[in-house]
């Protein structure tokens, strides 16, 4: 009881930090995140396509009902609030889990690193599944450590529910739940009967959430669920329009372009250094287990074609496991050698991550967003004949394939970096190389460019270029004229 009581002040401070970041600028303009309009429609009652599992939508519908949502904006805020609350709760659970292995100061510092990191602070804002998956994984880990402490029926049921939440948060969560289930059987030495209780509770949780989703919409049924699951499996196999092949990124595409920006360079360096000391010098099995889980997630992601540069949300599970390993390592390997060094490393990691997390969240504001700066530039210049190639957060004529550029004078592009990168990758669609050539040619016709030091992270303040096409018609491929 004393230990639980001693955690209360730390949890309250952590909630304050996490909530202040998660809810700050939560009313940023609709349309910046391109998937949100569809989520809003689902939450408002339109039948779900089940390309993603329904936990997020069920929670958003409930939040909308509680708040009396009656329009698009209300449901948008309901969905974003679910994400924000999910990240606040995940931060608390992260601390509680880490506290089982680490001393109070290191557990608190690394929980703050987690809560304030760009990975968590930014993704707490979007009406997307990612924050709910982070919460579900943290619930699963908390349930696992409780089960290890005492194998009771209550803890078995709690663990089963946690595994089901991850499955219904995101289909990739099923893999995480399977690994945790196997770990529980071995780590907690579950009997066949106890394993059946967990598996049955898991299945019932999944059925219940899918059932609630189907009951709160019209026009959907089991066939809709199967079709949606099939489309998502196909997407996982085929990837996006660009293919980031494993060897072309040296197997480090996610690590370099997504994990490091999600935690900052100093934090990743400190985490990996502490983990290395704990594993090599002390052979700490807890650090090795969580670090191994992070490495496994990262490796599987690197093998998948679903790793376009810029889609940081895929590595969120890696963040959980890596930071848990780092917190344990600092507490059990660095602190025994020099407590001041361990505390200093934790503080540096916290400050670095918090500085970046706060800056990214601040750049979600309309006044600092690069998309709106570009639109105001067009207004001031009196430019009317233009198209954009990605949602801008306000109405604008949009091109889907650049085949209609002959009728406009300016192209406002957020995707130029995507195609310039694609032009340097092998075995892409011929159209990718064609568009890469177009953007290389257009480099000499940039009318304006808008960027932020803390931008280009998960839809936050991306670099925007405005190309003047009037003297650059030769750059546009023939089928785009």
| CA pair distance 11, 26, nearest whole angstrom | 23
Whole-number pLDDT of residue 2:
52
Residues in the chain: 481
Task: Please say if the pLDDT value at position 401 is more than 90.
Answer: no
Whole-number pLDDT of residue 247:
78
Specify whether 324 is located in the same domain as 447. no
| CA pair distance 203, 439, nearest whole angstrom | 50
Average pLDDT, the chain: 93
Band of residue 406 on the pLDDT scale cut at 50, 70, 90 = confident
Q: Which two tokens stand for residue 226?
A: 């199967």
Mean pLDDT to the nearest integer, 145-154: 96
Mean pLDDT to the nearest integer, 18-27: 96
Task: Please say if the pLDDT value at position 465 is more than 70.
Answer: yes
Place of tokens 């931060």: 91
Chain centroid to CA 346: 23
- Best CA proximity match to 110, nearest among 341, 349, 358, 332: 349
Contact 48, 91 (CB under 8 A): no
Which of 344, 362, 380 marks a domain boundary? 362
Mean pLDDT to the nearest integer, 297-304: 89
Specify whether 289 is located in the same domain as 389. no
What is the CB neighbour count within 10 angstroms for residue 141?
25
Mean pLDDT to the nearest integer, 70-84: 96
pLDDT winner (highest mean) among 22-31, 79-88, 303-312: 79-88
Q: Beta 386-388 vs 410-413: how paired, if at all?
A: parallel
Band of residue 1 on the pLDDT scale cut at 50, 70, 90 = very low
Helix (H, G, I), strand (E, B), or coil: what is residue 125? coil
Band of residue 146 on the pLDDT scale cut at 50, 70, 90 = very high
Chain centroid to CA 97: 21
> Dihedral sign, CA of 59, 132, 130, 234?
negative
Sheet architecture: strand order including 464-468: 386-388, 410-413, 464-468, 446-450
Band of residue 211 on the pLDDT scale cut at 50, 70, 90 = very high
What is the value of pTM for the model shown? 0.94
Task: Please say if the pLDDT value at position 399 is more than 70.
Answer: yes
Specify whether 456 is located in the same domain as 312. no
Which of 362, 385, 408 marks a domain boundary? 362
Specify whether 352 is located in the same domain as 413. no
Specify whether 87 is located in the same domain as 231. yes
Mean pLDDT to the nearest integer, 20-39: 93
**Is the pLDDT higher at 307 or at 69?**
69
- Best CA proximity match to 465, nearest among 335, 330, 374, 357: 374
Distances from the Cα of 394 to the Cα of 24, 308, 371, angstroms: 21, 25, 9
Which domain does 312 fall in, by range?
A: 2-362
Beta bridge partners of 412: 388, 466
Q: Tens of pLDDT along 162-210?
A: 999 999 999 999 999 999 999 999 999 999 999 999 999 999 999 999 9
Task: Please say if the pLDDT value at position 24 is more than 60.
Answer: yes
The percent of residues in the chain predicted with pLDDT above 70, rounded, is 98
Band of residue 481 on the pLDDT scale cut at 50, 70, 90 = very low
Mean pLDDT to the nearest integer, 356-370: 94
Specify whether 348 is located in the same domain as 245. yes
Specify whether 251 is located in the same domain as 399. no
Specify whether 430 is located in the same domain as 341. no
Helix (H, G, I), strand (E, B), or coil: what is residue 464? strand
Distances from the Cα of 327 to the Cα of 120, 275, 454, angstroms: 17, 9, 26
Whole-number pLDDT of residue 3:
59
Helix (H, G, I), strand (E, B), or coil: what is residue 170? coil
Specify whether 168 is located in the same domain as 148. yes
Specify whether 304 is located in the same domain as 395. no
Query: First and final CA of the chain: distance in angstroms?
Result: 73
Whole-number pLDDT of residue 228:
85
Which of 306, 332, 362 marks a domain boundary? 362
Mean pLDDT to the nearest integer, 297-302: 91
Specify whether 141 is located in the same domain as 184. yes
Q: What share of the chain is helix, strand, coil (3-state, %, to 5)?
A: 65, 5, 30
Specify whether 347 is located in the same domain as 383. no
- Best CA proximity match to 429, nearest among 247, 240, 231: 240
| CA pair distance 356, 21, nearest whole angstrom | 11
Domain tally for the chain?
2
């Amino acid at each position: 009881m004393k230990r639980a009581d001693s955690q209360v002040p730390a949890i309250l401070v952590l909630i304050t930090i996490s909530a202040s970041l998660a809810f700050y600028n939560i009313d940023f303009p609709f349309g910046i995140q391109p998937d949100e309009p569809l989520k809003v429609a689902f939450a408002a009652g339109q039948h779900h396509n089940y390309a993603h599992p329904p936990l997020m939508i069920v929670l958003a519908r409930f939040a909308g009902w509680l708040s009396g949502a009656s329009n698009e904006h209300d449901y948008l805020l309901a969905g974003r609030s679910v994400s924000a609350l999910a990240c606040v709760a995940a931060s608390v659970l992260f601390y509680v889990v880490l506290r089982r292995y680490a001393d109070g100061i290191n557990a608190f510092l690394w929980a703050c690193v987690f809560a304030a990191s760009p990975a968590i602070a930014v993704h707490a804002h979007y009406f997307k599944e990612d924050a709910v998956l982070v919460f579900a994984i943290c619930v699963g880990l908390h349930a696992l450590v409780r089960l290890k402490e005492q194998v009771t029926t209550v803890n078995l049921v709690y663990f089963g529910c946690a595994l089901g939440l991850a499955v219904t948060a995101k289909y990739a969560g099923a893999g995480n739940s399977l690994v945790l289930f196997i770990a529980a059987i071995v780590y907690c030495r579950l009997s066949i009967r106890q394993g059946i209780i967990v598996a049955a509770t898991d299945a019932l949780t999944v059925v219940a959430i899918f059932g609630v989703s189907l009951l709160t919409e019209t026009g959907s049924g089991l066939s809709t669920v199967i079709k949606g699951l099939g489309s998502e499996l196909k997407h996982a196999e085929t990837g996006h329009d660009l293919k980031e092949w494993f060897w072309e990124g040296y197997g480090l595409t996610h690590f370099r372009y997504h994990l490091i920006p999600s935690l900052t360079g100093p934090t990743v360096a400190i985490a990996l250094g502490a983990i290395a000391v704990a594993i090599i010098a002390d052979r700490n099995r807890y650090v090795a287990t969580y670090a191994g889980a992070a490495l496994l997630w990262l490796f599987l992601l690197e093998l998948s074609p679903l790793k376009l540069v810029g889609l940081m949300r895929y590595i969120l599970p890696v963040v959980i496991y890596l930071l848990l390993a780092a917190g344990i390592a600092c507490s059990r390997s660095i602190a025994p050698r020099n407590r001041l060094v361990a505390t200093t490393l934790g503080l540096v990691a916290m400050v670095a991550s918090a500085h970046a997390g706060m800056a990214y969240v601040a750049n979600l504001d309309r006044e600092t967003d690069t998309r709106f700066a570009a639109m105001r530039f067009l207004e001031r210049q009196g430019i009317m004949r233009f198209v954009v190639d990605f949602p801008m957060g306000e109405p604008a004529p949009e091109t889907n394939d650049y085949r209609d550029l002959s009728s406009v004078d300016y192209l406002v592009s957020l995707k130029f970096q995507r195609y310039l990168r694609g032009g340097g990758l092998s075995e892409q669609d011929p159209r990718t190389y064609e568009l890469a050539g177009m953007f290389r040619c257009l480099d000499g016709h940039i009318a304006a460019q808008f960027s932020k030091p803390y931008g280009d992270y998960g839809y936050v303040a991306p670099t925007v270029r405005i190309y003047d096409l009037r003297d650059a018609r030769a750059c546009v491929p023939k089928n785009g004229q």
